[in-house]
Chains A and B, each alone.
Chain A
Amino acid sequence: MSNVVELQNVDKVYRGVIDTQVLFGVDLSFEEGSFNSIIGESGSGKSTLLNIIGTLDKPTRGEVFIAGNRTNDLSKGRLADLRNRTTGFVFQFHYLLPEFTARENVMIPYFINKKEPAELINKRADELFDMLGIAKVRNNLVSKMSGGEQQRTAIARALINNPKIVLADEPTGNLDSGNTTTIYKIFREINEKYGTTFIIVTHDRRIAEETDRIVEIKDGRIVVDIKK
């Protein structure tokens, strides 16, 4: 399998009154279709790493390749385009737009570029709503949904453009254990069904145990990398 994400010697320094380096020479790659977790304590640099993979943040040094594209020299517009086409984000907070219904929120990544025919997308949206068990609330405004439903809607939104990579940062951090189990099951199902690469950041070792590869990061350095 080819690598869909590749980081070469990545450093990240936050400039300020005192410069803070959070990543030190990270070399890391993820295979297409793999199901991975990144674990570490808070402040270890795992979220920063995920944001760099998601092209939301830039490395201070080193190279980043996403789906074969070297991102270092890409313009803001090209990066936005790459994100829209290849990456789906699921954060700890759902980050849905409160002004829109669940279905409209899910369709937003599609509306940004409209690369595929509308019929296909509508079908995929229905499929995702069914798979995530939120078909009943699809026309509800965000405020009219439970926390679990909101997070599932956010997952559907991450998947609507059929991205190569899903980046999830503590996706169940705000959910109860029942919802947490369901969501990881859905992640696995999607991974198997669509071959989507998952990179899940979590501080919960039990969740990480369910993935095929665990990367542990400590003080900005990779200390453990186990493939099952």
Chain B
Amino acid sequence: MMLSFRVAIRFFKSGRTQTLLIVIGIAIAISIQIFVGLLIGSLQKSLVDRTIGNSPHITISSATDIATIRDWERLVAKIEQLGDTKAISASASANAFVRDGETDLPILVRGFDFENADRIYNIRSSIYEGRPYGSQREVLVGRDLRDELEVDIGDKLAILLPNGTVYTLTISGFYDLGVASINKSWVIADLKTGQKLFGFGRRITSIEIAVDEVFEADMIAYEIQQVLNDKNIKIENWKELNEELLSGLDGQRISSTVIQAVIILSVVIAIASVLAISVIQKSRQIGILKAMGIKDPAVSLIFIYQGFLIGLIGSILGITLGIGLLYAFNIFTSNPEGTALIDLYIDYNFVLRSWLVVLLASTLAGVIPATKSLQLNPIDVIREG
């Protein structure tokens, strides 16, 4: 085994130009694979993050006419027991208007327990001025609504409720959740404020849930449905609400897989053909080794090791080059204001997986010439002189 490895290394070194060319070829192929794979991965991740990063993945609402959920604490406790969730937040929300001089602007009052909701929406970090609400009389206002109302911290907000009554709340801070429609319509208040304003009593309008494994949201939603087994509620998950996005992501994923499979195939063919030529070039040496008593498996190993070595060096160079290309792409394609077009995400699992696949494929590529080497007969080499 050691002899096979030694011979493989020497054969590798002796055909310097041939070795260099094939290693560069493999490195370029792998760099494209890594570049495309990581780019599409980053694109998908940033798309998914933008779509569901700061929003609930599963929403439970009422399926009854009164549109509210009773006894919700019991439901939350049951969901918590499942252990698949990252955050659970109850919400008492309803539409209302806010008085702006002579006109009324439509808003959505969202009553949350701040800490629970923060774990889903990252409200705390999106407050750019002021502080979270500290009492049931305080609210947070979004950036766009603030601009429209021209209000400041400590100003009073007159909320016109559907029943015609007007309720006054104080602004404790302003947030920017990164989505204009939310910034313009959501007035975030305490859960109890929401319940009180709309006369819900102890009831709520929805339970919002964030999970760690976002792509399993549908499975988890199904599990929750089974556990709660309540006809009065309706459970929706982000996947059923974003089918178009998901099919787009699937399309990307499939095209990325096809590109990678084609690259791996070309790597295997390139290595196998170079090594097949090497078998012919080194047939004299192999014949002599056989005359001296080397066995067929050990001869095969020489070419399998060569395939492995080409794959090893080519893939390490290729991975480095691919990641380098990705960073270069990110620099050269940045927006005019200097921010990156996409947020880079280096999926090390993907890199490791690709590396192992290349190593395995290049080692297997050595099997074809190895089989060819078995047909070499030492007597032919000796007779030819």
Contact = CB atoms under 8 A, between A and B. Distances in A.
Interface of A: 51, 54, 56-57, 76-77, 80-85, 89, 91-93, 95, 97-100, 108-109, 111-113, 157, 169
Contacts of A57: 379
A54 to B, nearest CB: 8
A97 B295 contact: no
Question: A56, A77, A85: which has the most chain B beta carbons within 10 Å?
Answer: A56
Contact of A84 (B7, B11, B285, B293): B293
Interface in B330-385: 378-379, 381-382, 385
Given A57-B379, A99-B13, A99-B14, A111 B2 contact: yes
A112 B284 contact: no
Given A95-B381, A97-B288, A112-B294, 12 more contacts: A51-B379, A51-B382, A76-B296, A80-B290, A95-B291, A95-B382, A97-B285, A97-B289, A98-B14, A99-B11, A99-B13, A108-B292
Interface in B279-311: 284-285, 288-296, 298
Contacts of B296: 76-77, 80
6 contacts: A54-B291, A80-B295, A91-B382, A95-B381, A97-B289, A111-B6
B284 A95 contact: yes
Contacts of A99: 7, 10-11, 13-14, 285
B313 interface: no
A97 B288 CA distance: 8
B67 interface: no
Given A111-B2, A112-B3, A56 B382 contact: yes
A160 B349 CA distance: 50
Nearest to A85: B293
A108 B385 CA distance: 20
A112 B298 CA distance: 9
A140 B205 CA distance: 87
Interface in B15-36: none
Most chain B CB neighbours (cut-off 10 Å) among A85, A100, A112, A113: A112
Contacts of B284: 95
Contacts of A80: 290, 293-296
A112 B385 contact: no
Contacts of B298: 112
A92 B293 contact: no
Size category of the binding interface on chain B: 20 to 34
Interface of B: 2-3, 6-7, 10-11, 13-14, 284-285, 288-296, 298, 378-379, 381-382, 385
Contacts of B295: 76-77, 80-81, 112
A83 B288 CA distance: 12
Most buried by A among B11, B290, B291: B291
Contacts of A169: 382
A109 B379 contact: no
Given A99-B14, A108-B3, A81 B385 contact: no
Contacts of A56: 291, 378-379, 382
A51 B293 CA distance: 14
Given A99-B11, A99-B13, A99-B14, A83 B379 contact: no
Q: Which of B2, B6, B296, B382 has the most CB of A within 10 A?
A: B382
Contact of A112 (B285, B292, B378, B382): B292
Given A56-B379, A99-B285, A113 B14 contact: no
B10 A100 contact: yes
B307 to A, nearest CB: 18
B3 A95 contact: no
B14 A108 contact: no
A210 to B, nearest CB: 25
A92 to B, nearest CB: 7
Contact of B291 (A89, A111, A113): A89
A44 B291 CA distance: 23
A154 to B, nearest CB: 10
